[in-house]
Each structure stands twice: as C-alpha cells, then as structure tokens.
Amino acid sequence: MARRIVLTSGKGGVGKTTVCAGLGIALARRGARVLLVDADMGLNNLDVALGMEGRIVYDMTDVLRGKCALRQAVLQDTEYSTLSLLASSHGTDMEEFPSGAFRRMLAEAEGAFDFVLIDCPAGIDNGFHRAVCVADEAIVVTTPHVSAIRDADKVMSLLETYNLHSVSVVVNRVRGDLVAGGSMMSADDIARLLRHRAIGYIPEDDCVTVYAQLGRLGKGNARSDLAMRYIAENLISGSRKIYDCTGEYRGIIGKIKTYLRRQI
C-alpha cells in the first residue's frame, strides 16, 4: 500500500511545491514508485517545477468529472520512469468535488505506487482539509522567518485533529552563514519550537531557482539536492540523516566564506 504524505505549510511562499517536487525526484532516484499530486487548484505549479507543463492532456478535474481514467491523467517523468504526476487545472472550483471523491480517486493509485506525495494548497481553508483528509502522514514545510514559523505552528495544531500516523518538519531556505553567526534561528531551534521531529533541513540555494527555470529541478549536484536525498532516505529507511547547513561556514575558511557572502 502506498504511503500517502501531504506536504503543507500554512503560509505561502516557503517553497512547499519545490520541496514536494524535489522530494519526489529524490525518492524516484532511489527506485521508489512516486506519484506527485497537485491538490492546489488556485496556484498550481507542480507541473512547472517538474518541467511537465507542456505535456498535460488530462488533469485531476477530468478524472473527477469522469472524462478520463486516472491512468490517462497520470504523466510519467521523462528521466525517472518511477516518477509520475497528477496535475490540477488552474482556477477550477473544487467545491463541486467532495473530499470523498478525492479520496476514492487516489485509492485507485494505491497498488501502483510506493509514495503518493500531495502538494497541499497554502492556508487552512477547504483545500487544506481536502488534501489532509486523504493522507496518512504530513510534512510541514517552513522557513526560518517568524511569520512562517507562526503559521506552521497553527497548522501543527490543526493536524492534531486528523488521524495521521506521523507529522514531521522540513525547514527550508536555511542560511548557514547567518545561523553560524548567530543572526538567524537554527533549524534545530525551529523544530523544538514546533514540538515535532525535523526530517530535513534544506539550505538556501540559488541553484534551485536556476533549475526550476530550466525544468531540471533536483537533477543537478546542488547542496539542496543532497539535503533532499537525506530526507528521502529518512522516509524510506527511518534514518535521521540531516544536512548540516552550517558546516561550510565554520572554522577559518568558513569565516572567509561568510565574509565574502555578506559582501555580495
């Protein structure tokens, strides 16, 4: 049976969709069969992050309306054969589809995949409920900013009302130089504030922006790729490998790197 994991955040702009896409790629690189589901009907960008936006023929709405079978709407990645996407259509009013219909649709994918990653819309409205109610696990994505942490804490409280097997945290866009210098809250501190185990820390990485523009997200050798691979390994094996965002900024060489970065 597939593990159904919803990725949520509370606050928009924390990189939740990018994390969802990158994690899906990292899992597929380890041989896992992964289905990425874009449950955000308002700001759907999962297809863009994967470079699949030009290949969509049918989407989730077509499946729910009975216009096509689920297998017809699922797109396979051109590089990783075990990675697939179920895209959504922009601006569709999902209120016409009850949560039960969404649950039944995903149930059809149970036997074909090892992981179903659900990209939840930001906020805590009906779209949040629809995405979370079909999941067994949740990953809350946040950044080291007060507003993002506060919203993540609110989401954590809401997730406690659902029957989830586990809830974990991914701290995205961590500036290792600022953490090492004491001017940014560490990812460990954030996890303690949110009172949930951190499954991964992802460093601020300009390569993510470049890869996303090229449709090659997660297919390079950036630091964020390594951090994502650690998260995938933690999900698969239950290990606790965490990327050290501050390692390169410690010691003499680290101080030089910190100084040079602040001059840019």
Inter-residue contact 21 to 151 (CB < 8 Å)? no
Within the chain, residue ranges assigned H as helices are 16-29, 46-49, 60-64, 70-73, 99-107, 126-132, 146-159, 176-180, 187-194, 206-214, 223-237, 251-263
Place of tokens 């501050």: 246
* pLDDT for residue 40: 84
Inter-residue contact 82 to 33 (CB < 8 Å)? yes
* pLDDT for residue 253: 46
Distances, alpha carbon 133 to alpha carbons 74, 99, 220, in Å: 21, 7, 34
pLDDT 10s digits, 55-96: 999 999 899 889 999 999 999 999 999 999 999 876 666 667
Low-confidence ranges of the chain (pLDDT < 70): 90-95, 207-221, 250-264
* pLDDT for residue 127: 84
Place of tokens 């906020």: 123
Inter-residue contact 174 to 245 (CB < 8 Å)? yes
* pLDDT for residue 37: 96
Distances, alpha carbon 201 to alpha carbons 141, 171, 208, 261, in Å: 10, 5, 15, 20
Inter-residue contact 19 to 48 (CB < 8 Å)? no
The secondary structure of residue 218, as a DSSP letter, is: T
Q: How many Å apart are CA 199 and CA 236, to the nearest integer?
A: 12
Q: How far is CA 57 from the centre of its chain?
A: 24
Query: Phi and psi at residue 73, in whole multiples of 5°?
Result: -90, -20
CA angle 169, 29, 236 (to 5 degrees): 45
Q: How many Å apart are CA 149 and CA 193, to the nearest integer?
A: 8
Closest to 58 in 3D by CA, of 46, 49, 67, 50 = 67
Torsion region of 154: left, alpha or beta (phi above 0 gives left; psi -120 to 50 gives alpha)? alpha
Q: Which domains does the chain have, with CATH numbers?
A: 3-263 (3.40.50.300)
Q: Amino acid identity, residue 130? A: R
pLDDT 10s digits, 203-233: 988 766 555 555 556 555 578 899 999 999 9
Longest pairwise C-alpha distance within the chain: 62
* pLDDT for residue 82: 97
* pLDDT for residue 1: 81
